[in-house]
Structure 1
Amino acid sequence: MSQPAQVPDPATRLIAPTTRLGVAATELLNRLVAALTKAGISLWGSRVLAVRGRKSGEWRTTPVNLLTHEGARYLVAPRGHTQWVRNLRVAGTGELRVGRRAESFRAVELPDADKPEVLREYLRRWKWEVGYFFDGLDADSPTEELLRIAPGFPVFRITLD
């Protein structure tokens, strides 16, 4: 008798590149977006997120898409519970950088019940870039489906210091 398939725990969901080509492509894209953003060119709302490492205390940076929805600003982690998510949970603060401008912020993680409309808007704006991570869901998916996946997609509301 075969064992049932293991269903990943959405609370620990993490999608990392799994092939050398995937890792190289991701690193290349991240470096390109980060370089342009550092030069002051924001692509589709891109920012360089800077957060203190939870163990080292050193600044860690990664490109992110900053979403503005209904007057509030959000960071969504399409790959799940990544290192920047873990660091931001501990630090609670960080910086969003574009060129020489850096905005200090505070972050509050949203409960799963509050995520569907933010995820919907994120998909509406960046599905072409991150749709692969959402297992076929899109901006028109039912709210119940967005609620079902919500635990695997950390979302932070950003407020400026």
Structure 2
Amino acid sequence: MNQVALPRKVRFFNVVVKGLQRVGIALGPVTVLTVRGRKSGQPRSTPVTPFRVDGAEYVLSGIPGSAWAHNVRAADTVELRSGRRTRTARMVEIPVAERGPILRAFAEQVPRGVAMMLDAGVVRTGSADELEAAADRLAPFRIDPA
């Protein structure tokens, strides 16, 4: 699947968030996920917004073909940083048949994430129904302790 190009303002936001997190400033629920690159082996970081469904914590790869999702699939563990707090975790991709309720929850809980998907042209309306219907293109990952 081809990677969707991120809009300029999303790329700018990602740089700002990573810089603020690096000096220990948390920005609400936004967390920086760092994972080793599957080809380079170098650490790669991207902002994500964890959300909860039935007591479990998830992040969504809302841009089909995103490099971070490919890297997470290949990695044993990732690092999640929020302000001065860092934790190591395992991430488990949710099977397509089980994604519906998780995608619906994302639409309700992470409106800025939905807005980013709208800006990137991934979705047209950002409704919970639309995200659920796109389960084959959007990859939620459950965050488990390492």
Going from structure 1 to structure 2, the CA distance change for 1:69 and 1:40 (only over 3 Å counts) comes to farther
CA offsets, 1:46-83, max 9 Å, x none?
10000011011111111111112211011101112200
**Alignment RMSD:** 1.9
Q: Which residue of 2 aligns with 1:102?
A: 86
Q: Which residue of 1 aligns with 2:136?
A: 151
| Alignment check: 8 A CA contact 1:38 1:48 kept | no
Q: CA deviation at 1:99?
A: 2.5
TM-score (norm 2): 0.85
Rg comparison, structure with higher value = 1
Q: Which residue of 2 aligns with 1:9?
A: none
Q: What are structure 2's unaligned runs of at least 5 residues? A: none
Q: Which residue of 2 aligns with 1:28?
A: 12
| Alignment check: 8 A CA contact 1:38 1:98 kept | no
| Alignment check: 8 A CA contact 1:77 1:155 kept | yes
Q: CA deviation at 1:121?
A: 1.0
- Percent sequence identity over matched residues? 35
CA offsets, 1:107-141, max 9 Å, x none?
111011111111111111223442413321413x2
Q: CA deviation at 1:37?
A: 3.1
TM-score (norm 1): 0.78
* 1:106-117 mapped onto 2 (5 Å cutoff): 106-117=90-101
Inter-partner Cα distance in structure 2 for 1:127 and 1:148: 18
Q: Which residue of 1 aligns with 2:125?
A: 136
| Alignment check: 8 A CA contact 2:27 2:83 kept | no
**Residue 92 of structure 1: which of 33, 55, 76 is its match?**
76
Q: CA deviation at 1:42?
A: 3.3
**Greater Cα shift, 130-139 or 71-80:** 130-139
Going from structure 1 to structure 2, the CA distance change for 1:148 and 1:13 (only over 3 Å counts) comes to farther
Q: What are structure 1's unaligned runs of at least 5 residues? A: 1-11
The one-letter code matched in structure 2 to 1:29 is F
Name the one with the larger helix percent.
Answer: 1
Aligned residue pairs total: 141
The one-letter code matched in structure 2 to 1:124 is E
CA offsets, 1:81-107, max 9 Å, x none?
200001001113201012232110011
The one-letter code matched in structure 2 to 1:156 is F
